[in-house]
Amino acid sequence: MKFGVVTFPGSNCDHDMIDALRYDLGQEVIELWHKDKDISTFTTQDCIILPGGFSYGDYLRCGAIARFSPMMQSVIEFANKGGRVIGVCNGFQILCEAGLLPGVLLRNENQQFVCKNIFLKSENTATSLTKDVTGRPLMIPVAHGEGRYYADDATLDSLFKYNQVLFRYCDEFGNIVDAANPNGALRSIAGICNKERNVFGMMPHPERATSAALNNRDGQLIFQSLIANN
């Protein structure tokens, strides 16, 4: 399994992701540029990652311009063929804009940028990304101004019905409570996937929690789950 990490104008977490995968997890990483189109060396057993940042300056809406980049046209085709795609923070926003994931990320409920460690948990054993991390709270950093997941009630009901909710915000004991929700996301949703379970989006940054130097390796567990269940 190898990883491709896309850099857009305004990406600022691309090298965080590259370093976490390459040095902390020992994975093969190929750096991809937003103007390129060729990802023919990737198979459906590989994974393309859209990192965090402010792609194209977040003009119009977060991710709205990046969705039309040459690379994203190839990523959309890759995902539709069953290839694994992960969007983190701005990458999650891009996936929603591209129609690969339902819903939208709105401005945080308190209208302020939030940057801190939070806790999240998964109860989803049906996806490769979460299968090995269910049943325990993970401490993962967030850093966003527009991370409030929103969708209509029918979409939200469908996400839970078809087991598409990856992560929910919780307290350090795993309790889903409003006080632990950093942005006002509906039903405390921190991450979702598509029905085919090969496209994943999440607002928290697991790549910022993969090193002993940061005193936090909880993010490693998420990537290790993906790799182990490839």
At 185, give phi and psi (nearest 5°).
Answer: -55, 135
The CA distance from 1 to 18, in Å, is 15
| Catalytic status, residue 13 | no
Apex 165 CA angle, 46 and 148, nearest 5: 105
Give CA torsion, residues 42, 43, 47, 49, to 10 deg. 40
Contacts of residue 42, defined as CB under 8 A and 6 or more positions apart, other chains included, come to 2, 4, 30, 48, 78, 83
Q: Considering 97, 146, 193, 205, which one is annotated as catalytic?
A: 205
Round to whole Å and give the CA distance between 76 and 100.
Answer: 7
Give me the catalytic one of 89, 96, 170, 193.
Answer: 89
Active site residues: 89, 205, 207
